[in-house]
């Protein structure tokens, strides 16, 4: 018997707002514990929440990017449970009227595409962070009240690889939308994984187990693989999967039961009386929609179509919105998409990789790169000269044309001038010429190198190559006559 | 001769301070002396920092000398122990907040401060405002200064007793189901519950967030109007405050009722009501007619469901609002070994009193899965019907006249073993909270035994001008009588 896994994800995404969801405290990461707190986010007596509209906007933007329907009337609810990192012992979240409904995201895996449907996206507040020491525990409330968006999928995912593909595509989309930093190390993206298996040919989903609080994609993949295998073993062996909440131990590579269905919380949801319902006017939603960036998949298709790029190149250039923006600005400025793509995919990406910086963190701008490309295109400088200038322009701001002028890097132009240099090279290297005439083709390349050296690298290498070939051919012919 | 604050009103004090008849220091000193003398028998105040009070008074006098003004400059006010005043304790009549010191001013407090008022002392209350007698307090019961073997009412019993007992010119209370109006009625003072959203709740320790409102307990309707005007208005820190302009409430006090239609809700004059209360309220109605009002009978047909609705919704909200008192971050923490959950259990079992525990359990129950629809959801629907009752009534009249409570003040201990009896006493007051409308309690007579009786004037949401006008005209017409 063959078993099919059905996987649904609940992805928690910290939104990129300056302040917390219900108070004015900053959301900056990494401050000393409990230094970014106030009566509201600490749940002090009498403090009340006030909605941060930016959190609503970013959630709606995410929903629009993911093709969701935006709820006309949305509200917040209290979800009650006791835990030391929960300041109020209830979390303000959205129960039955979330901001976004439906939607989906297309993933690509092994050349196949698949739609993963979304159930909903809702907005809630993050809780504090507990740290356990020997004999005591500490809670840092800096994170408490940071806006958290929960994206819930349908159980459309059928493998660990699909889950990771979904998470990567989701991360890419959210980064494009600018709604979250999506920094996994800082806990910006965490997910709960719901897993069930069923025999092939049956329609009804099996009993699900939920793995809580995964914060790496690798962990999701490993945990999913393990849990699917465990459930199949269980069912195939005649057993039944128990509905329970699991914890993944990355060191042991196993899942452990945290609590069973019988111990499940009764969260006692009810509408949050301190906040008004959210009623978004169509005009407001449309105004936000107008600020949406192009989705990654659409942009990739457009790059192929408009700039004539191969699918792979378009994929690389659109992986990150910053790079795609950089490419597109460069291509527009220099009018040569192919050249812009070549420069960015090779030299610029290498410099980015070596420096560990993002494209917005280096000195190089699309204006500078476009100017460099045009200098080569107009044969003002040759390609090696241009490539030599790039690391400098990457590190600090500068105008390529000025550098070329002040340093005299301009290409040695005329055929006469390069012809003289060729003669000079031939005269200075009779041995090499002899080698060529004796049939050693590679010797011609050495002579071109000499010409480049004589020009201090400024000759057009193509012209130098052609002239060397012509002069050598002339000598070859001459030798045959004599 | 020491200043006598027994009958002094806020308005008189404002004039006295402005004209230099006395200083804020003298006024505050008189208040502190009155508290020292009278509080031991009444237990209206549960905390008092005399040095802090005098510092505030001195600062007010200096400010006046420096030419500063403020509608309440130098006037000392007492504060119910449920409102955060920066640097003062805020224990809500509970052991569980033992040791907690407020870190900030409630918005209402900040506005009073900005107007120059002094915040003096903390008044007793039923724990977390749950109760109608101020007997459910970790600080012991408050007694009615008019009749010491009777309760002061609740939950703002300490504030009403302080005002009635000559220990404060005025005090702040909060009203979730009658907690300002009923103790004001029991003690013979004026109590105003503003419309929901009129005064910011920021800094009021929530009992039932959709019902709570802050309001003044005073000696005159004019004082209530004055304090309301200072505290009212939109607050960015409370999303449920409305952006409605704050009218000049003093200007509404015309002294007559000509052209007003006042409704008597049939359901508020019921069998089993104390006959002396019925007689006093009927007489007050007649007086209003003499003052120019037209009296009409109206109906609020869903009134009989109000108490049940109130206790479901208030308990549900309270069960979440009080969850934060867990011993983790502030207040009382039970000592002992074990997991966090055991610490919670011990802290809450030892920190909360019986009535609070009863309502938390009730609220937890009505929100539980499987019961939510039958209780919470149904109660919300009834609440809508009650609100519509008021809409319909206010389409026929400008304000309503009713008793505040079916009886005068209970004897001490009378309702302690019979919470249901106490709950039923809220029947005429909870409707205003459920509907979000405003209500005023004005003294309208005494029983043969000398217990005060209150007349309730109910007005539509943001109709404070009307209830103040009615209450003031009635009060003026009975000036000089011992009410």
Of the pLDDT bands very low, low, confident and very high (cuts 50, 70, 90), residue A482 is: very low
Residues paired with A14 in a beta bridge: A148
**Is B367 part of the contact surface with chain A (CB cutoff 8 Å)?**
yes
User: Is 80 exceeded by the pLDDT of residue A479?
Assistant: no
Residue A436's pLDDT is: 84
Q: What are phi and psi of A211, to 5 degrees?
A: -95, 125
What residues of A are in the B interface, CB distance below 8 Å? 39, 42-51, 78, 80, 82-84, 87-90, 137, 139, 266, 268-270, 273-276
Rounded to an integer, the average pLDDT of A258-263 is 75
The tokens for A455 are: 């020009």
In angstroms, the first-to-last Cα distance of chain B is 28
User: Is 80 exceeded by the pLDDT of residue A428?
Assistant: yes
- Highest mean predicted confidence (pLDDT) among A205-209, A385-389, B187-191, B417-421: B187-191
The count of other CB atoms within 10 Å of the CB of residue A414 is: 9
Share of chain B above pLDDT 90, in %: 93
Query: Mean pLDDT score of chain A, rounded to an integer?
Result: 91
Of B59 and A264, the structure prediction assigns the larger pLDDT to B59
Q: Which segment of A144-148, A352-356, A416-420 scores lowest on mean pLDDT?
A: A416-420
Residues of B assigned a catalytic role: 80, 155, 179
Residue A460's pLDDT is: 80
What are the tens digits of pLDDT across the range B12-46?
A: 999 999 999 999 999 999 999 999 999 999 999 99
B47: Cα within 13 Å, side-chain hemisphere: 22
Which of A79, A93, A90 has its CA nearest to residue A125?
A93
Give which of A45, A80, A87 to mutate to test B binding, by max B Cβ within 10 Å.
Answer: A45
What are the tens digits of pLDDT across the range A62-117?
A: 999 999 999 989 999 999 999 999 999 999 999 999 999 999 999 999 889 999 99
Question: What are chain A's domains?
Answer: 3-286 (no CATH), 294-407 (no CATH), 415-481 (1.10.10.410)
Residue A429's pLDDT is: 85
Cβ separation of A50 and B369 shorter than 8 Å?
Answer: no
Residues paired with B403 in a beta bridge: B455
Do the Cβ atoms of A294 and A322 come closer than 8 Å?
A: no
In DSSP notation, A273-303 reads TTS--EE--HHHHHHHHTTPPPPHHHHHHHH
Cβ separation of B210 and A273 shorter than 8 Å?
Answer: yes
A92-107 burial by CB neighbour count: b if 16+ within 10 A, else e? Answer: bbbbebbbbbebbbeb
Residue B99's pLDDT is: 95
User: Nearest CA to CA, how far is B158 from chain A (Å)?
Assistant: 20
Give the closest of A45, A83, A274 to B240, CB-based: A274
**Is B196 part of the contact surface with chain A (CB cutoff 8 Å)?**
no
Q: How far is CA B227 from the centre of its chain?
A: 13
Residue A258's pLDDT is: 86
CA diameter of chain A: 108
Cβ separation of B319 and A80 shorter than 8 Å?
Answer: yes
Angle, vertex CA B309, rays to CA B305 and CA B312, nearest 5 = 150
Chain A residues near residue B92 by CB distance under 8 angstroms:
45
pTM for the whole thing?
0.90
Share of chain A above pLDDT 90, in %: 71
Query: Residue B367: closest CA among chain A residues belongs to which residue?
Result: A268
User: Is 50 exceeded by the pLDDT of residue A481?
Assistant: no
Chain A residues near residue B236 by CB distance under 8 angstroms:
50
Do the Cβ atoms of B190 and B441 come closer than 8 Å?
A: yes
Angle, vertex CA A455, rays to CA A451 and CA A456, nearest 5 = 115
Residue A1's pLDDT is: 79
What are the tens digits of pLDDT across the range A442-477?
A: 888 888 888 888 887 777 888 888 888 888 888 776
- Assembly ipTM: 0.95
Residue A475's pLDDT is: 79
d(CA A28, CA A49): 20
**Is B339 part of the contact surface with chain A (CB cutoff 8 Å)?**
no
Percent helix, strand and coil across chain B, each rounded to 5? 45, 15, 40
Peptide bond connecting B178 to the previous residue in cis, omega within 30 degrees of 0:
no
Cβ separation of B202 and A90 shorter than 8 Å?
Answer: no
Question: How many inter-chain contacts (A to B, CB under 8 Å) are there?
Answer: 100
Do the Cβ atoms of A102 and A151 come closer than 8 Å?
A: no
Chain A residues near residue B239 by CB distance under 8 angstroms:
48-51, 274-276
Query: Residue B92: closest CA among chain A residues belongs to which residue?
Result: A45
User: Is 90 exceeded by the pLDDT of residue A261?
Assistant: no
What are the tens digits of pLDDT across the range A188-216?
A: 999 999 999 999 988 899 999 999 999 99
Query: Residue B211: closest CA among chain A residues belongs to which residue?
Result: A273
The region that residue A43 occupies, defined by phi over 0 for left and psi between -120 and 50 for alpha, beta otherwise, is left
Residues paired with B122 in a beta bridge: B47, B79
Give the closest of A42, A48, A266 to B202, CB-based: A48
Cβ separation of B323 and A44 shorter than 8 Å?
Answer: no
Give which of A48, A50, A265 to mutate to test B binding, by max B Cβ within 10 Å.
Answer: A48
- Cβ neighbors of B306 (< 8 A, separation 6 or more) are B386, B427, B430, B431, B434
Do the Cβ atoms of B77 and B112 come closer than 8 Å?
A: yes
Of the pLDDT bands very low, low, confident and very high (cuts 50, 70, 90), residue A411 is: low
Cβ separation of B328 and A139 shorter than 8 Å?
Answer: yes
Class of domain B1-483: alpha beta
Cβ separation of A45 and B239 shorter than 8 Å?
Answer: no
Q: Which segment of A42-51, A259-268, B84-93, B133-142 scores lowest on mean pLDDT?
A: A259-268
What are the tens digits of pLDDT across the range B100-130?
A: 999 999 999 999 999 999 999 999 999 999 9
Rounded to a whole number of angstroms, the CA Rg of chain B reads 21
The tokens for A318 are: 């659109």
Strands (E), B38-117: 45-47, 76-80
d(CA B278, CA A273): 36
Residue A412's pLDDT is: 66
Of the pLDDT bands very low, low, confident and very high (cuts 50, 70, 90), residue A433 is: confident
User: Is 70 exceeded by the pLDDT of residue A344?
Assistant: yes
Cβ separation of B100 and A274 shorter than 8 Å?
Answer: no
d(CA B309, CA B458): 19
Residue A480's pLDDT is: 46
Residue B1's pLDDT is: 47
Query: Residue B366: closest CA among chain A residues belongs to which residue?
Result: A268
Cβ separation of B206 and A46 shorter than 8 Å?
Answer: yes
User: Is 70 exceeded by the pLDDT of residue A262?
Assistant: no
Chain A residues near residue B319 by CB distance under 8 angstroms:
80, 268
Rounded to an integer, the average pLDDT of B445-466 is 98
d(CA B121, CA B10): 17
Residue A446's pLDDT is: 86
Of B269 and B134, the structure prediction assigns the larger pLDDT to B134
Which of A383, A390, A374 has its CA nearest to residue A463?
A383
**Is B210 part of the contact surface with chain A (CB cutoff 8 Å)?**
yes
Give the closest of B204, B239, B341 to A51, CB-based: B239
d(CA A433, CA A321): 53
What are the tens digits of pLDDT across the range A295-342?
A: 999 999 999 999 999 999 999 999 999 999 999 999 999 999 999 999
**Is B111 part of the contact surface with chain A (CB cutoff 8 Å)?**
no
Chain A residues near residue B84 by CB distance under 8 angstroms:
45-46
User: Nearest CA to CA, how far is B121 from chain A (Å)?
Assistant: 18
Chain A residues near residue B341 by CB distance under 8 angstroms:
82
Give the closest of B208, B316, B323 to A88, CB-based: B323
Q: Which residue is associated with the tokens 């405290």?
A: A25
Give the closest of A39, A80, A88 to B104, CB-based: A39
User: Nearest CA to CA, how far is B344 from chain A (Å)?
Assistant: 8
DSSP state of A23: S
Query: Mean pLDDT score of chain B, rounded to an integer?
Result: 96
């Amino acid at each position: 018997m063959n078993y099919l896994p059905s996987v649904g994800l609940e992805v928690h995404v910290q939104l990129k707002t300056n302040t917390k969801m219900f108070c004015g405290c900053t959301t900056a990461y990494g401050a000393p514990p409990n230094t970014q707190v106030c009566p509201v986010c600490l749940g002090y007596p009498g403090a009340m929440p006030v909605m941060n509209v930016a959190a609503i906007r970013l959630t709606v933007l995410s929903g629009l990017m993911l093709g969701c329907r935006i709820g006309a009337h949305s509200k917040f609810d209290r979800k009650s449970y006791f835990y030391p990192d929960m300041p109020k012992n209830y979390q303000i979240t959205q129960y039955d009227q979330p901001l976004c409904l439906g939607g989906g995201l297309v993933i690509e895996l092994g050349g196949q595409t698949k739609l993963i449907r979304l159930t909903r996206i809702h907005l809630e507040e993050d809780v504090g962070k507990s740290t356990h020491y020997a004999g005591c525990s500490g809670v840092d409330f800096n994170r408490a009240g940071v806006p958290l968006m929960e994206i819930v999928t349908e159980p459309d995912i059928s493998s660990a690889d699909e889950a990771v593909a979904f998470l990567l595509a989701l991360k890419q989309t959210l980064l494009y939308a600018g709604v979250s930093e999506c920094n996994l190390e800082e806990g910006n993206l965490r997910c709960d994984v719901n897993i069930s298996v069923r025999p092939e040919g049956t329609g009804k989903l099996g009993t699900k187990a939920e793995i809580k609080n995964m914060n790496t994609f690798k962990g999701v993949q490993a945990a999913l693989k393990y849990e699917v295998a465990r459930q199949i073993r269980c069912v195939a062996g005649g057993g039944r999967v128990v509905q329970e909440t699991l914890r993944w131990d990355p060191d042991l590579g196993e899942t452990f039961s945290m609590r069973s269905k019988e111990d499940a919380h009764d969260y006692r949801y009810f509408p949050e009386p301190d906040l008004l319902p959210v009623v978004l006017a169509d005009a407001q939603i449309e105004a936000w929609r107008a600020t949406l960036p192009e989705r990654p998949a659409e942009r990739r298709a457009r790059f192929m179509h408009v700039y004539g790029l191969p699918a792979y190149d378009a994929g690389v250039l659109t992986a990150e919105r910053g790079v795609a923006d950089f490419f597109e600005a460069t291509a527009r400025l220099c009018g040569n998409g192919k050249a812009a793509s070549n420069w960015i995919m090779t030299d610029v990406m290498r410099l980015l990789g070596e420096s560990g910086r993002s494209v917005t963190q280096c000195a190089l701008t699309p204006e500078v790169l476009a100017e460099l490309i045009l200098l080569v295109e107009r044969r003002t400088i040759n390609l090696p000269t241009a490539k030599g200038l790039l690391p400098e322009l990457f590190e600090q701001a500068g105008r390529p044309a000025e550098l070329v002028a002040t340093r005299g890097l301009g290409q040695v132009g005329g055929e006469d001038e390069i012809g003289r240099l060729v003669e000079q090279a031939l005269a200075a290297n009779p041995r090499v010429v002899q080698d060529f005439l004796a049939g050693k083709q590679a010797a011609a390349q050495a002579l071109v190198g000499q010409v480049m050296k004589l020009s201090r690298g400024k000759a057009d290498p193509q012209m130098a190559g052609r002239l060397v070939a012509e002069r050598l051919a002339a000598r070859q012919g001459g030798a045959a006559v004599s | 001769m020491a200043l006598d604050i027994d009958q002094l009103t806020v308005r008189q004090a404002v004039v006295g301070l402005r004209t230099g008849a006395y200083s804020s220091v003298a006024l505050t000193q008189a208040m502190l002396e009155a508290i020292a003398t009278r509080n031991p028998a009444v237990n209206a105040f549960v905390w008092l920092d005399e040095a802090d009070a005098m510092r505030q008074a001195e600062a007010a006098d200096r400010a006046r000398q420096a030419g500063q003004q403020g509608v309440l400059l130098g006037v000392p006010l007492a504060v119910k122990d449920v409102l955060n005043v920066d640097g003062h304790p805020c224990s809500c009549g509970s052991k569980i907040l033992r040791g907690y010191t407020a870190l900030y001013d409630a918005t209402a407090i900040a506005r009073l401060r900005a107007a120059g008022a002094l915040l003096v002392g903390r008044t007793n209350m039923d724990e977390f405002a749950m109760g109608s007698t101020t007997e459910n307090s970790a600080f012991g019961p408050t007694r009615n200064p008019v009749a010491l073997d009777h309760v002061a009412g609740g939950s703002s019993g300490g504030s009403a007793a302080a005002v009635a007992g000559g220990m404060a010119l005025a005090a702040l209370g909060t009203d979730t189901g009658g907690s300002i109006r009923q103790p004001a009625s029991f003690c013979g003072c004026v109590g105003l519950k503003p419309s929901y959203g009129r005064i910011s709740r920021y800094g009021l320790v929530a009992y039932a967030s959709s019902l709570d409102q802050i309001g003044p307990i005073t000696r005159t309707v004019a004082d209530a109007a004055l304090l309301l005007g200072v505290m009212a208005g939109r607050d960015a820190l409370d999303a449920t405050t409305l952006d409605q302009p704050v009218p000049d409430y003093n200007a509404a006090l015309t002294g007559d009722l000509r052209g007003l239609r006042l409704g008597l809700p049939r359901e508020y004059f019921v069998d089993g009501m104390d006959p002396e209360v019925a007689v006093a309220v009927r007489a007050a109605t007649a007086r209003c007619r003499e003052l120019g009002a037209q009296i009409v009978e109206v109906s609020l047909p869903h009134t009989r469901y109000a108490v049940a609705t109130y206790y479901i919704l208030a308990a549900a909200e309270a069960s979440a609002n009080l969850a934060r008192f867990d011993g983790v971050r502030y207040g009382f923490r039970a000592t002992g070994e074990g997991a966090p959950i055991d610490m919670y259990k011990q802290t809450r079992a030892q920190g909360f009193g019986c009535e609070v525990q009863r309502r938390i359990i009730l609220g937890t129950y009505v929100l539980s899965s499987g019961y939510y629809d039958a209780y919470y959801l149904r109660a919300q629907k009834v609440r809508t019907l009650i609100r519509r009752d008021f809409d319909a009534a206010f389409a026929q009249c400008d304000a309503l006249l009713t008793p505040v409570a079916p009886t005068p003040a209970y004897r001490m201990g009378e309702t302690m073993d019979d919470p249901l009896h106490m709950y039923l006493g809220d029947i005429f007051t909870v409707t205003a909270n459920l509907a979000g409308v405003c209500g005023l309690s004005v003294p309208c007579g005494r029983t043969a035994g000398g217990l005060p009786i209150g007349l309730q004037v109910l007005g539509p949401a943001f109709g404070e001008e009307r209830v103040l006008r009615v209450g003031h005209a009635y009060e003026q017409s009975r000036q000089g009588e011992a009410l």
